[in-house]
Amino acid sequence: MAESSSLCGFLDLRAAAPFLVAAVVFYLLTEQLSYRRKKGPLPGPALVVPFLGSVARLIRDPTAYWDGLAARAKESHLGLSAEYFLGTFVVFIRDAELSHRVLTNVRPDAFHFIGHPFGKKLFGDYNLIYLFGDEHKELRRRIAPNFTPRALSTYAAIQQRVIVAHLRRWLHRSEHDVPFRLRVPCRDMNLETSQTVFVGPYLTAEAREAFARDYHTFNVGVMALPVDLPGFAFRRAKQAVARLVRTLTGCAGESKARMRAGGEPSCLMDYWMQDTVREEDEAAAAGNPPPPHASDEQVGGHVFDFLFAAQDASTSSLCWAVSALAAHPGVLARVRAEVATLWSPDSGEPITAAQAAEMRYTQAVAREVIRLRPPATTVPHIAGEPFALAEGYTVPKGATVFPSLYESSFQGFRDPAAFDPDRFFSEERREDVEFRRNFLAFGAGAHQCVGQRYALNHLVLFIALFASLVEFRRHATEGCDDLVYIPTIAPRDDCAVYLKQRCAELPSF
């Protein structure tokens, strides 16, 4: 009886096998034809690996992968190239004007900004980048008080205290004959800066340690395959995000209570909650529902967005700034001279907002660092509807497009591959005005980075303090400044330098 059942099962499988093979062949053929139809005139692979596409190449060598897409797009008269990975058709955009078109057409019937190919799963529900129209405008209106001159001045003092404290640790840990790799220490410094600036007194020392562990777990997940199953890095990252948002939700509640009691703002969350609690109280008194985007959990989710935006992008910029200054001693000398005319370590006071505003050359250096090495090299969007992007090519609905902020930076500007802060400093050249549409490091349109002034201030203050307080020399090796993605771009050697204290004593404030 058992033998008869086994035989029947085997015969059933043999009978079904041709249909299974036909179904697989039909799927593979349909996939290839669909890819070819969407690709149209764009340069790209003639055939693609089923479902996976080029994901193996992307994981193995991200730098070579993106360079290859850019090279194909450059050869095309459209400034575009096609790719395919994980079942998704991809359009890479090299041309600056076409990138501008995508960034300024984020709306339900055009492009949806996603930040990460699987970001909606990873970042949670309360995320600024997924909003459109009036809802998006309302949230940005609520965020605006976080970046007023008064708020930025408050943050500047905090930023400098953290920067100097970490410089002291770096100098203590470094040895004159052993190169000191800056990327991870810069990341740790930026995490402490973000925690202190954004949520200030509401994180205990224990919470900060847990926060740092969870943020590291999240970062690993950003670069991992999106396998949402137990034991995989992507699932661990999702769980870490949930814990981080819960922590920030509690901080929002504490900040509201302190602002209601008449406390002075001491961090970003306080500046945000100052107006929020007033609107909440007015709504409650009038019997109206609370204002949108004002619950503790929503605020916690949005502050996590700020942390993600500030953390690795800033780490990238600080490393590239040190690398550029080490490679250009004339630029470094000009920065040191300008800072010395406005501020001295012996003053015992941090650099004021007014002094930082007068450091025009140092600001030009910061902008040139960001132009030459924009931390987020691409910003993925999904086409919500077919979109006529260029003459002769319409992006199909559901395609993921990658406007390249990095490639835009090398278009228009004179001698674009050169590190030349004078392009942003010289009154005669004014390249920042002439080619402003190609300076896309902070995006464009309605979703342009809301915290760009904070990010630039942080880079300017770091450059001013690092150049003034530290003697440094790059540990130059072949390929040390090649780009690696982790997830933003960084020097391949993690920016290895030799450090030595430059002034008699580091300031204390």
Q: Rounded to whole angstroms, how far apart are CA atoms 145 and 273?
A: 9
Domain assignment of residue 78, yes or no? yes
Q: Which residues of the chain have pLDDT under 70?
A: 1-13, 117, 124-126
CB contact at 8 A, 360 and 427: no
**How many domains in the chain?**
1
Judge whether 282 lies within some domain.
Answer: no
Nearest alpha carbon to residue 487 among 165, 48, 119? 119
In a domain, residue 417? The reply is no
| Residues of each annotated binding site for heme | 449
Residue 108 CA to residue 501 CA, distance in Å, equals 54
112 located within any domain: yes
In a domain? residue 91: yes
Determine, yes or no, domain membership for 98: yes
Q: How far apart are CA 57 and CA 63, in angstroms?
A: 10
DSSP readout, 140-193? HHHHGGGGSHHHHHHHHHHHHHHHHHHHHHHHHH-BTTB-EE-HHHHHHHHHHH
What pLDDT was estimated at residue 125?
61
Q: What pLDDT is recorded for position 3?
A: 55
Report d(CA 475, CA 323) in Å as an integer: 10
109 falls within a domain? yes
Taking a C-beta distance cutoff of 8 angstroms, is the pair 370, 319 a contact?
A: no
pLDDT (tens digit per residue) in 434-480 = 999 999 999 999 889 989 999 999 999 999 999 999 999 999 999 99
Per-residue pLDDT of 119-162, as tens digits, reads: 777 776 667 778 888 888 888 988 988 999 999 999 999 999 99
Expressed as residue numbers, the domain containing 58 is 29-118+378-409
Q: How far apart are CA 507 and CA 469, in angstroms?
A: 9
Q: What is the pTM of this model?
A: 0.92
The residues, any chain, with a CB within 8 Å of residue 149's CB and separated by 6 or more, are 353
307 found inside a domain: no
The CATH number given to whatever domain includes residue 97 is: 3.30.43.20
Annotated binding site: 449
pLDDT at position 8? 56
CA 73 vs CA 41, 296, 376, 390: distances in Å: 11, 45, 19, 13
Rounded to 10 deg, the angle between the 233-260 and 183-199 helix axes is: 40
Handedness of CA 42, 47, 51, 54 (dihedral sign): negative
